[in-house]
Structure 1
Amino acid sequence: MADVVESEGRKIVVAVDGGEESTFALQWCLRNFVSSSATTSSPRDTLVLVYARPYPPVYSAMDGTGVLFSEEITASLDKYSRDLADSVMNRAQKICKDYNNVKVDVKVTQGDAREVLCGTVEKIKADVLVMGSHGYGFIKRALIGSVSDHCSKNAKSSVVIVKRPAA
């Protein structure tokens, strides 16, 4: 008789950034991908919440206006960035608290959001990447780029882009 191998659930990466769009995408993912009524015999999904902290700006000892940047200022900016990441992740984890049948992992990584998300998907061999959309128009996307557009073209998994309904 063959041994029964417990199958692993899906690995779902959700991009979180503290904005309303990513919060809506996380809630949508929980409602549509993770059933709160799953049985204990069904495989347990893993939800990986990913926040990409931007790299700190690089300042020379004196900027172009003649302002001198001290180590205290740059340390303060870095602390703010870490505190913001902690706050965003705490809020995201609270949204997930009612879903006991899903394992929630948190990954805070420093870097460009496009590369962090695609890299995480590839590294953990995620089944799907779920992310919100800011709904930028053509010109704004062309000027600043679109994280969701980049990920839809480059992620090594399926990508679900969740648009928040207009209010």
Structure 2
Amino acid sequence: MEVEKKIIVMAVDESEESMYALSWCLNNIISVSQQNNCTSNTTLVLLYVKPPPPAYSAFDVAGYMFRNDVVAALEEYTSKLVDSVMSKAQAVCMKSNIKIKLEKKVGSGDAKDVICGTVEKLGANMLVMGSHGYGFVKRALLGSVSYDCAKRVKCPVMIVKHPKNT
């Protein structure tokens, strides 16, 4: 009898809330599964979504042409941010001492679209996300990635609130 492969997608970003949610996932979902011997075929996918690259016009508002070094500097900054977030997430995983297959994926674009698309493409069994704890006004202006994803994906979604946001 073949054991079903399970995929848990964990959306990560540079926020404290995201790293708390990752730690919570490891300690409350993965560790419980390990105690029940259910993690041998489980993969935790760390998903970071880069903002879409800005659409540069040939000239900025002052009429100066964007120089290639400015564009290159922005791309380098984004690359360093991705490395930093993934390193932080991997450190949280190592600190937990929980053995799990780990994959890292980086997408680019609108966060809710990339997250939902990745969950669907991978056939994930669960999506775990942190909540930034925005109030009504901020959420109305900025939108809520976690709320949108919870409505759109077909698998269970765990939205983890940081204790400081409760």
TM-score by length of 2: 0.90
Partner in structure 2 of residue 131 of structure 1:
129
Paired position in structure 2 for 1:20: 16
| CA RMSD between the two structures | 1.9
CA deviation vs aligned residue, 1:135-163 (integer Å, no higher than 9, x gap): 11111111111111110111121111100
The structure that is helix-richer by fraction is 2
Sort the Cα spacing of 1:111 and 1:37 in 2 relative to 1 into closer, same or farther, 3 A: closer
Residue in 1 aligned with 2:31?
A: 35
Where does residue 76 of structure 1 map in the other structure?
73
Cα distance per residue 1:57-96 (max 9 Å; x no partner)? 1121211223431111111101110111011011101211
User: Which amino acid in structure 2 is aligned with residue 24 of structure 1?
Assistant: Y
User: Residues 117 and 82 of structure 1: is their aligned pair in 2 closer, same or farther, counting only changes over 3 Å?
Assistant: same
Gap runs ≥5 in structure 1: none
Give, in whole Å, the separation in 1 of the partners of 2:137 and 2:32.
40
Matched positions, count: 162
- In structure 2, the CA distance between the partners of 1:58 and 1:46, relative to structure 1 (3 Å rule), is same
| 2:107 match | 109
Greater gyration radius: 1
Q: Counterparts of 1:155 and 1:18 in 2: how far apart (Å)?
A: 23
Q: Secondary structure at 1:35's aligned position in 2?
A: helix
Distance in 2 (CA, whole Å) between partners of 1:21 and 1:41 is 29
Q: Is the 8 A contact 1:36 1:99 kept in 2?
A: no
Q: 1:15 Cα shift?
A: 0.6
Question: What is the alpha-carbon distance in structure 1 between the residues aligned to residue 33 and residue 145 of structure 2?
Answer: 33
Aligned to 2:86: 89
Percent identity over the alignment is 51
Aligned position for 2:98: 99
How far has the Cα of 1:41 moved from its partner?
5.8
Contact kept, 8 Å, 1:30 with 1:96, in 2: the verdict is yes
Query: Which residue is 1:150 aligned to?
Result: 148
Q: Which moved more, 1:32-41 or 1:151-160?
A: 32-41
Provide the C-alpha distance between the structure 2 equivalents of 1:43 and 1:19, rounded to a whole number of angstroms.
27
